[in-house]
Each structure stands twice: as C-alpha cells, then as structure tokens.
Amino acid sequence: MSVRVRFAPSPTGFLHVGGLRTALYNYLFARHHKGTYVLRIEDTDRTRLVENAVENLIKSLKWAGIDYDEGPGKGGDYAPYIQSERLSIYKEYADILHKKGAAYYAFDTTEEIDEMRKRNPGESFTKYDRTSMKNEYTLGEEESKKMVDSGTSYVLRLKVPDSTTVVFDDLIRGKVEVSTNEIDDQVLMKSDGFPTYHLANVVDDHLMKITHVIRGEEWLPSTPKHVLLYHAFGWEKPLFAHLPLLLNPDKSKLSKRQGSVAVEDFASEGYFSDAIVNFVALLGWNPSSDREIYTIDELIESFDIEKVNKGGAVFDRAKLEWMNFQYLKLMPANELADILTPILEAKGITGFQTEYLEKVINLFRERIKFVKEIPEIAGYMFSSPQDFEQEYLEKHWKGNTVEILEPLLDKYKATGDFSHSALYELTKSYIEGLGKKLKEIIHPIRLMLTGKSAGAGMFETMEVLGKDECIKRIEEFIKIKETGKI
RNA sequence: GGCCCCAUAGACUAAUGGUUAGGUCAUCAGCCUUUCACGCUGACAGUAGCGGUUCGAAUCCGCUUGGGGUCACCA
C-alpha cells in the first residue's frame, strides 16, 4: 500500500517553526517512500478565524520549498481539503456514531459544565458525568429526540467505555497504554454544528486514506480518543508517530517571547530557507553521520521516522545563525546581490551596478551572518564615510602621517593598475623604502577610506572602491583634517 | 494534582550489550594576519541518581529524581 501522509495545521495566521518541522518530517517521509503528501486545513473553530491565514500558511510552506500533492489550491481525489467545507460529511459520520450507540446527545450549558467541574475540587481528574448531567441517558431517548427536533442546543459526545485499556503503537515511542477511566466523554459535534478536532481529524484521515499520522507530541494525550473513534467506526487506524517538541531555552514548549517563531519572521530577518529547513530537520533527528549541512534531497534519501528522537529539542538560535552563515558563504554572489538590492533601496541607496554589489558581497560575506548587515557595517562602500572612529584615529594618525602619505598618494594617482595585488606591492615597497612597516600606513589609509577600524582586507577594499574614489577620499580627509574639524 | 511522554557536556546529536563515549554550535586559548572576520589547531565539558540482569550496561529492567506535554463546545 502506498504511503499517504498529511500536514494538518489550523490556520492561526502564520506558520510556526514547530509546524514547519512537522510539515517537513511529513514531507521527508512522503518523498522518501515515494508517497503522497496532503495539506489539510483544520479550521473547525470558527471563533478563531484569521483573515488570509490559509494563504499565509501556503506561502510559508512554499518559501520553505515544501510542496504538497493534494490540498487547497491544488485539489485531489479527496477534496475539499478545508474542513469548514466538509461539514455535511462530519454530520453524516456523527449520525452513524450516534446510531451505533457510540456517541450521545448532551444538552448542558457551559455554566452547568463549569459547575460540574467545580463540584469536586479535590478530584484529580474531572470527567463529564454521564449519569447526572443533562443528556440522552438521563433524559431518555424520546425526550432527547424531542429536544433535538425542537431546536434545543446540543452537542454530541463520545461514549467512552468504562475501565478498559486503549493501546496503540507509536512509531517513535513504541507501545502506549491508557485506561479509558482517564478519558473524558469528548465532545465530537459542537452546538454550532461544527465538529471538534477529534471527530474531523479521524473522519478525514480515514476518508483521505492517510496511512501515517505524523504530528507533534502535544497530540499524544488525545490519541486514545482517536483510537476509540476508529474502533467505534470499525475502521483500521493509521500508524501514529508523535514528534518531540521544539523547546525554548528554558525547555518549555517553543513560543514567542523568546524570539521569533513564525516562519515568515525568519524569512524577513534574512534567514535563507535552505538554512532553516536544514536546521529544523536536524532538531530531533539526524542521518547519523558527522555532518551538519545537507541538501533537501539528501534529507529525503536518509529520512527514517523510527530514528526520530523521543526527547524535546531546544531551538538554539546561535546554531541557526551559524547554519545561515554556512549557506551565505556558499551562495552565488548574484543571488546575494538580488537580496541586497532591495535592502539598500530601503535605506535610500540606489544606482549601483549589480557587478559592484557582487564585489562588495564577496568582500564581506565571511564577515556577516545576514545580507542585511552589509549597509550596517559597510555603508562606506556606497558613500564617503562621515564618521571616523575616534579611538582608531588617535591611535594611528600621527604627526607625520600626512608627510608620509603624500608621495604615496602620488604613486596611487600615477598607477594604471589598481588591483589589490598591485596596490599591495606598491604600498609595501614604498613604506619599506622608508624603513617602516606596512601596518604603519595601512591603518591611516583604512581610517581615511572607511572611518572604521574593522573591515575587509585593505587593498581588496581599495580595488573595489576604485582608484578615483580612493584618491578622492584621501584628499578630502587630509583637507578636513587640516581644518581641524576631525 | 491525575494521566501520558521524556532524560548522553550550556545547546543539537552519534554510538541500538564490548569505542580512550564520536561530531557540531556556544565558550576559552593558540596559530594565521593588515584591522575585523574566515580558516586551522587545541582546550573545557556528558551517559541525572540508586539498585538489578549480564562475563560485560549510555544501551535491557525497576525505583527515585528532574523536565515536558495534556487534562475545553481550541486545534
């Protein structure tokens, strides 16, 4: 039988990185087994509708390079893939459950339920009390039918059998057992006619012929309810695999507060999708070799759901940055220039050729983790420096600096070769001819051209800046220095 | 609190009964050097604890401790 998996997020407005990892593992599993990947939207909570949430979700998945075979916008044999468009299906299956006696109507108000829970405050676990509340059993079948027909608000609850044990196998965790005494008579159909997650999820997974349910660990406690539902319907259940959680540094479930958590935020912060995918893939699993960087095809090739770890994994942003840097180092300059251009434009820097941007990128790519850092640390590549580091100036600008500089400036003016190697030779032989060391002149030059103590190689920087610009900056600096303004 | 899940260095992980417990991030040091980085080399640092099974345990079992998740007409 061919593998069919699904990623079934609820449209909360954005894709959480934890969701991305779940989506990714499903994707890797599907592709590894040459199976089918389904995207299904679980929007059965109409109180939490968020505008454009589905579009955003799909956009983020697409950004990450995770494409699905069936789902919203694509269709498929089991459409629709948005649960709010499948209401009549759930109603139909809810009725089947009711007819089988596996579920029953209940008429309690929210207040009555609250009160029931308050009744035994010392109790460790408050289960819906089928024998004392307002439902089909206490009211009688006839009365209850009358109420339903007359339009009284009601829900459908799962009749959980007493004192039996639900057992299922988890691909990652092995055998899991839970006593039904610990399982509540879960609401399956809400009073607004929408199904709860539990019903919709089971019905859809069955109807869509899902073979493996791969989802976050937070679903583990409700899986027994789902197993009960499969059993009640007389359906074969899929295989389950509950993924370990992604954690904050304090080990709690990954959330905002301690940094971005939305995939779109990582994108706008300048992370590369390949880096995020690579990083997230290795949180909870790895191909067991001594390597960190993998292409998506390599991940697909070696993915093994049974080798996924059981314990939660802290989302370490420092390592993510390092990962991003690994990709930045290797990325073609023209692609990075395409990223740089709008960043510069946003700062009002325009009019530079792509070729020039590529040179700047190559100068700085090993000194940054994000492209957006370039205008921050190397603004002088786009206009003359306005500020000069005071401490750097005081340390390297001596009384005789101008004296030493002027003949060198003439040599720069005279040379036809402004390549970094030629500049190096020229500068070196000149300064050594004076019995001085190269570094004695390099720092003043760096100061005049960049205003900063830190930067790329001096002669490489000069080559990219170009002869005219370098000469202009040096002359300007000397002039201003003479006025005493610096 | 009940139930469920989990436990290799600060973090991510490898090792599925036999290794000096390996790799990566972070941290620290040295080298390189033209500043800052990169890179290279090295260092620090781990099987939560206690029992048991076994010739042999990070690995299997039990208990303890610790952490997390979950207990809605939310998913």
Residue-range domain boundaries for chain A: 1-72+244-330, 87-189, 332-375, 384-483
Q: Is A307 a catalytic residue?
A: no
Give the amino acid at A6: R
Q: Tell me the C-alpha to C-alpha distance, in Å, between residue A454 and each of A313, A358, A367, A450.
A: 36, 20, 10, 9
Give SS3 for A253. strand
Domains A87-189 and A332-375 share a fold: no
ipTM of the complex: 0.96
- Closest nucleotide relative to residue A323's CA, C1' based: B25
pLDDT for the residue numbered A122: 63
At the topology level, CATH places domain A87-189 in: Glutamyl-tRNA Synthetase; domain 3 (3.90.800)
pLDDT for the residue numbered A125: 77
Distance separating alpha carbons of residues A324 and A390, to the nearest angstrom: 33
Distance separating alpha carbons of residues A212 and A208, to the nearest angstrom: 11
Domain A332-375 belongs to what architecture? Orthogonal Bundle (1.10)
A227 touches strand B (CB under 7 A): no
Low-confidence ranges of chain A (pLDDT < 70): 121-123
A193 touches strand B (CB under 7 A): no
CATH number of A384-483: 1.10.10.350
Question: What is the CA A288 to C1' B57 distance in angstroms?
Answer: 22
Question: What is the CA A329 to C1' B58 distance in angstroms?
Answer: 37
In this structure, are residues A195 and A94 in contact, taking their beta carbons and an 8 Å threshold? yes
Distance separating alpha carbons of residues A256 and A475, to the nearest angstrom: 51
A284 touches strand B (CB under 7 A): yes
Note the strand B nucleotides within 7 A of protein beta carbons: 1-8, 10-15, 22-26, 34-38, 67-75
A67 touches strand B (CB under 7 A): no
Summarize pLDDT for A112-132 with one digit per residue, the tens. Answer: 999 898 887 666 778 899 999
Distance separating alpha carbons of residues A313 and A316, to the nearest angstrom: 9
| Residue spans of alpha helices (H) in A331-389 | 333-346, 354-364, 373-377
pLDDT for the residue numbered A418: 96
In this structure, are residues A277 and A65 in contact, taking their beta carbons and an 8 Å threshold? yes
A 447-466, residues with C-beta < 7 Å of strand B: 453-460
Q: Tell me the C-alpha to C-alpha distance, in Å, between residue A243 and each of A23, A213, A311.
A: 11, 10, 9
Active-site residue (options: A62, A253, A256, A436): A256
pLDDT for the residue numbered A121: 64
Distance separating alpha carbons of residues A338 and A352, to the nearest angstrom: 12
A55 closest CA partner among A14, A97, A9: A14
Domain A1-72+244-330: give its CATH superfamily. Answer: HUPs (3.40.50.620)
Q: Work out the number of other CB atoms within 10 angstroms of the CB of residue A259.
A: 16
Q: Tell me the C-alpha to C-alpha distance, in Å, between residue A77 and each of A33, A68, A232, A237.
A: 20, 14, 25, 20
